[in-house]
Amino acid sequence: MFDIFRRKAREEKALQAVSGGGWLRIFESFTGAWQRNIEVDSTTVLAYHAVFSCISLISADIAKMPVLLKKRSDSGIWADHADTRISPLLRKPNSFQTRMQFFESWMNSKLSDGNTYVLKLRDGSGFVKQWRVLDPNKVTPYVTEDGEIFYQVRPDNVHGLEAQVMVPAREIIHDRFNCFFHPLCGLSPVYACGLTAMQGDAILSNSVNHFKNGGRPGGVIVVPGRIDADDAKRIKADWDAGYTGANAGKTGLLSDGADFKTVTMTSVDAQMVEQLNLSAKIICSTFHVPIYKVDTSTAPSYNNIEALDQQYYSQCLQTHIEAIELLLDESLGLDEQTGVEFDLDVLIRMDTEGRYKAYKEGIGAGFLTPNQARQKENMPPVTGGETPYMQQQNYSLAALAKRDAQDNPFSNGSSTAPAPTITPEDDETSRALPEQQRSLAVSMLRGIFTHE
């Protein structure tokens, strides 16, 4: 069913090759964190709002773009292409995920773990019929002594793997980035922003406890004279039970000269919003996401939103998009004349006024036909809309050069010198014109020189 290498001897050889001199290392959020028992919990980090927003934003933006199969024609133009084996796979990569769910899983794994492992499922003829995104925690890459790469995949019922297997590299799509320590080991941006996310979570947790206490800072109970430990614990417990949390703000009662003194909040404690904003900016910088994409309070003006989206694409999304396209091309065995591309028009789309202005200028310049503009707006073609148009008063450089070669290019026609004879052959673009348009072009060219 699966084209998976299972020979026991080769598997043991691969395992021995790695265990004998592998590249295992401990990843720390900062130098010395492991020795000081400072842990960056991945679950806590992913639950922090800035990290969650960056990962979900990038994953959703890439997943919402349709995947197109393109083929280059003899003229060098890339056009949509249909293939009975590839096109259905691009529309639905596997039996239980849609295209959007598949690429969201792809990017979620890459951004949270630094690695995405996609298992290829083949049909009886050996062609890939499904792609399955594996759990990165259940996959480990290995390198044999002769340099071959294998992936150890632990049991995974979702994908039909009931036992641990060694899969050759040709059956795995491995998307990775930030390979600082080993070319087969990618690093998630969480590696750089994990400590910041833990700090932000600590600030929010402290804020939750603060507001559970009715938004009131803590304090101390001052009792005159000496008091034993048991009485101190009893007094504190009675106070916490009666006047904190849901009971905050109720009237307190103290006896024997005891007094409650509130501990004032310092200026550093009061700057919680500024600290949270700083943590969000640091996290966004590690994911290369503009801060306004996460913090709506800093949204830019509408006038330059298109330029900002283009910047977001170039600095954040483009590297992931290009990597996926290249890996899919290799997975499908496509040649240089065929390729997989994401439809960027869905991602970067101008406003209505901007689109219509661009269409108008493109059609007026003669490089865009009306039907091409209508197609971009999902409108049917019209008769005559396949022809590029130019305004009649435009002339080629060849015609203008012949005019300027006269002794008096701006003669009003009274000179005895005959007007230059200009034929449509002087203009290369006129050779493809119909006969009626050729006659009109000749008359027009003569008139511009003789002022007829």
Task: Enumerate the H helices of 367-434 as residue ranges.
Answer: 370-376, 397-404
What is the predicted pLDDT for the residue at 420?
52
What is the predicted pLDDT for the residue at 142?
92
Taken in order 268, 269, 273, 276, is the CA torsion positive or negative? Answer: positive
The amino acid at residue 246 is A
The residues that bridge with 187 in the sheet, in sequence order, are none
What is the predicted pLDDT for the residue at 13?
45
What is the C-alpha to C-alpha distance for residues 388 and 425, in angstroms, rounded to an integer?
A: 20
pTM of the model: 0.68
What is the predicted pLDDT for the residue at 255?
63
Tell me if 306 sits within 8 A of 354, measured CB to CB: yes
Crossing angle between the packed helical segments 49-63 and 318-332, to the nearest 10 degrees: 50
Per-residue pLDDT of the chain (452 residues; tens, 9 = 90+): 444 444 444 444 444 444 333 444 444 554 555 445 556 677 888 888 899 999 999 999 999 999 999 998 887 888 888 888 999 999 999 999 999 999 999 999 999 999 999 999 998 888 999 999 999 999 999 998 888 999 999 988 888 788 899 999 999 999 999 999 889 999 999 988 888 888 888 877 776 665 665 555 566 666 676 777 776 777 777 666 665 655 555 566 666 666 666 655 555 555 767 778 888 899 999 999 998 888 766 666 666 677 788 888 999 999 999 999 999 999 998 888 899 999 888 877 666 777 778 878 888 877 788 888 888 887 888 888 888 877 777 778 888 888 888 888 777 655 555 555 555 555 555 455 555 555 655 555 555 445 44
Residue 436: both structure tokens together: 């009626």
C-alpha 59: how far from its chain's center?
6
What is the C-alpha to C-alpha distance for residues 415 and 269, in angstroms, rounded to an integer?
A: 92
What is the predicted pLDDT for the residue at 120?
93
What is the C-alpha to C-alpha distance for residues 376 and 368, in angstroms, rounded to an integer?
A: 11
What is the predicted pLDDT for the residue at 57?
94
State the DSSP string of 333-352. T--TTEEEEE-HHHHS---H
What is the C-alpha to C-alpha distance for residues 249 and 238, in angstroms, rounded to an integer?
A: 15
